[in-house]
Structure 1
Amino acid sequence: MKAIFNSRLIEIDSQVLNTKNRAFCYGDGLFETIVTGPHRINLTDFHLERLTRACKVLDLDSPQFSNQNLREMTSQLADINQLNGDTRARLQIWREDGGLYSPQLSSYSFLLQVAETTTPAFGQGGSIGISTSSKTSHNAISFAKTMSALPYVLAGIEMRQKKLDEIILLDDQGNLSETHSSNLFWIEANEIFTPSLQSGCVEGVMRRLILETLKVNEVMYKPERLTLADSVFSSNASGIRYFTSFENKRYLNPKEKLRKVLKLLQHL
């Protein structure tokens, strides 16, 4: 399998990182997961806008990518690797070596990998619960996808141990924030709600599409609010998943309420 490292083709298992790499040593980097294809809406612009904002916060050089050339690189890798259908591209950016906690440079390296994806744009997610092992916290970079992901790893371990299908992280004040891999939404009395970015949740690109397409209330609520919900769902670059249960509460499929968004996602 081929990947693109700093604009040149490499084998996916090539050794491109050294022991001084700042992503390896400090988590000093960012990433975007971009799902595109013949049956998906293209949100590359949203990804690039978020990446550019995050680079500014981290004092990294602005990404030298456009929607067009990123799509061209993704298409090139899909062709070379003989991938068909929808693809899942992972773009990683990390600061060049130099310095300890205080970096010396603003320049970066990048790696682009592409794989096939068969994840449906809309599907059932099963049961959810609340994480007690991890919290989110709002800060200058919490809106972005960073390479410092241990809170989500801990939540993922807890999810597996509790035999849940998804797990929700609360912020440090006990408010609903996000799941370990997605943004959180719920429907209550025909109104849609999602945690505010002040909870420390990632500003997801699919979250942005939903907020721009539907009327959504951004709130700071405790997890007990989910017991009043009719439906609960999550969103990430791969699409939307709805959940069937939380503790003893059973939920409905929100498909009808989300039809306007699903038409964009699936060209229905």
Structure 2
Amino acid sequence: MVWINGESQNSLAAADRAVHFGDGCFTTARIVEGQILALDAHLQRLAAGCERLRIAAVDWGALRAEMTYAASQRSEGVLKTIISRGSGGRGYSAAGCDSPTRILYLSPYPQHYARLRETGARLTLSSVRLGQNPLLAGIKHLNRLEQVLIRTELEQTEADEALVLDTEGLLVECCAANLFWRRGEQVYTPDLRASGVEGIQRQWVIRQLKEQGIALHEVRMPPDTLADADEVFITNALMPVVPVRQIDRWHYASRQLFNLITGRNV
């Protein structure tokens, strides 16, 4: 099911800047019992993305109502919410674009995440590198060609997710998830100030670690740093937390931190 500016329809204007330039941002939320988990956080993410991209005049009240209604149509599912700058301007110029487009896309929940939470995910190192761009780093903008290439390569393997580096060969994230690892009592996650997406579930994990008094280090490190990790897990708003059992030749058995932050019995 698709809604555009509150209307049930599948047609987007050919002049919309999302089509021409990927000029917008999005968020992907999980629906449970007809409600969006962390709705406020998803709206805040969209607002932050729009502020960074200088997209103004979004009707946030209408968007919240539309998202709430869309979620009520399924007991379980996924709601992708896109904000485009809309139509207008000449070439790259955004002059005159004063009516952002709101697009909502409702789809089934990926059932394989439940399996991965039990078995653990298998990762493989991607050959596709993420470019560094501090101006756009962190936000979930519509320019996702790097992820398309990563996913295309991943589908030629038997792995569940891809481990992704930047152009300097340093850890950033996965294709569609953030990355954490533990070595002893120390917990690490990649620094996302130059590239990558700062996921809502990543922010949740960081808050949980702080409440537990566990030190977290945001670092720029090569992939070999994972060779002697005691534990690795990945996160996104749909998973929401999945342990990693293998990254190519490296294997991980511990779920100590995973169990702690997810409330599972050790």
Scaled by the length of structure 1, the TM-score of the pair is 0.84
Contact 1:194/1:218 (<8 A) preserved: yes
The 5 Å alignment of 1:209-248 reads: 209-214=204-209, 215=214, 216-238=216-238, 239-248=240-249
Pair 1:77 & 2:88 matched: no
Counterpart in 2 of 1:130?
125
**Mapping of 1:249-264 within 5 angstroms?**
249-254=250-255, 256-263=256-263
Deviation string 1:94-152 (CA, Å, 9 cap, x unpaired) is 01222212222243110112233244394444321222123242321221111110101
2:24 aligned with 1:29: yes
Shift of 1:76: 2.5
* Paired AA for residue 78 in structure 2: R
More divergent stretch after superposition (30-39 vs 87-96)? 30-39
1:181 equivalent to 2:181? Answer no
Q: What is the CA-CA distance between 1:168 and the residue it aligns to?
A: 1.4
Residue ranges of structure 1 left out of the alignment (5+ in a row):
none
Q: Deviations over 1:188-212 (max 9, x none)?
A: 1132210011241211100000001
Measure the CA separation in 1 of the matches of 2:262 and 2:234: 13
Question: How many residues are treated as equivalent by the alignment?
Answer: 253
The equivalent of 2:5 in structure 1 is: 6
Contact persistence 2:164–2:175 (CA under 8 A): yes
- In structure 2, the CA distance between the partners of 1:41 and 1:55, relative to structure 1 (3 Å rule), is closer
Q: Which whole-Å CA distance do the structure 2 matches of 1:245 and 1:129 have between them?
A: 8
For residue 229 of structure 1, give the secondary structure of its aligned residue in structure 2: coil
Does the Cα contact within 8 Å between 1:175 and 1:221 map onto a contact in 2?
A: yes
Shift of 1:69: 6.6
Tell me if the contact between 1:232 and 1:242 (Cα under 8 Å) persists in the aligned partners: yes
**Aligned residue type for 1:102:** S
Alignment-mate amino acid for residue 90 of structure 1: K
* 2:160 pairs with 1:165: yes
| Distance (whole Å) between structure 1 residues aligned to residue 135 and residue 28 of structure 2 | 21
CA contact (8 A) 2:137 2:193 kept: no
Q: 1:150 to 1:124 in 2, by over 3 A?
A: farther
Which residue of structure 1 aligns with residue 139 of structure 2?
144
Structure 2's unaligned 5+ residue stretches are none
Cα separation, 1, equivalents of 2:84 and 2:247:
38
Name the aligned partner's letter for residue 122 of structure 2: S
Measured in 2, the distance between the counterparts of 1:230 and 1:240 equals 17
- Misfit runs of 4+, over 6 Å: none
Structure 1 residues 124 and 199 mapped into 2: Cα distance closer, same or farther (>3 Å)? farther
In 2, Cα distance between equivalents of 1:63 and 1:160: 36
Q: Distance in 2 between matches of 1:251 and 1:155?
A: 23
Shift in alpha-carbon separation, 1:75–1:53, aligned structure 2, 3 A: closer
SS in 2 for 1:77: helix
Matched, 1:101 2:96: no
Q: Shift of residue 65 of structure 1?
A: 2.4
Tell me the equivalent position of 1:54. 49
Determine if contact 2:63/2:102 at 8 Å carries over to the other structure: no
Q: Structure 1 counterpart of 2:4, which letter?
A: F
Distance 1:174 1:106, change over 3 A: farther
1:56–1:184: structure 2 CA closer, same or farther, 3 Å change rule? same
Distance 2:206 2:162 in 1: 22
- Using structure 2 for the length normalisation, give the TM-score: 0.85
- Backbone CA RMSD of aligned residues: 2.5
1:260 Cα deviation from its structure 2 partner = 4.3
Q: 1:40 to 1:188 in 2, by over 3 A?
A: farther
Rounded to whole Å, the distance in 2 between the matches of 1:164 and 1:237 is: 20
Tell me: CA distance 1:100–1:43, structure 2 relative to 1, closer, same or farther (3 Å).
same
- Structure 2: which amino acid aligns with 1:73? E
For the pair 1:194 / 2:189, whether they are aligned, the reply is yes
More strand by share: 1
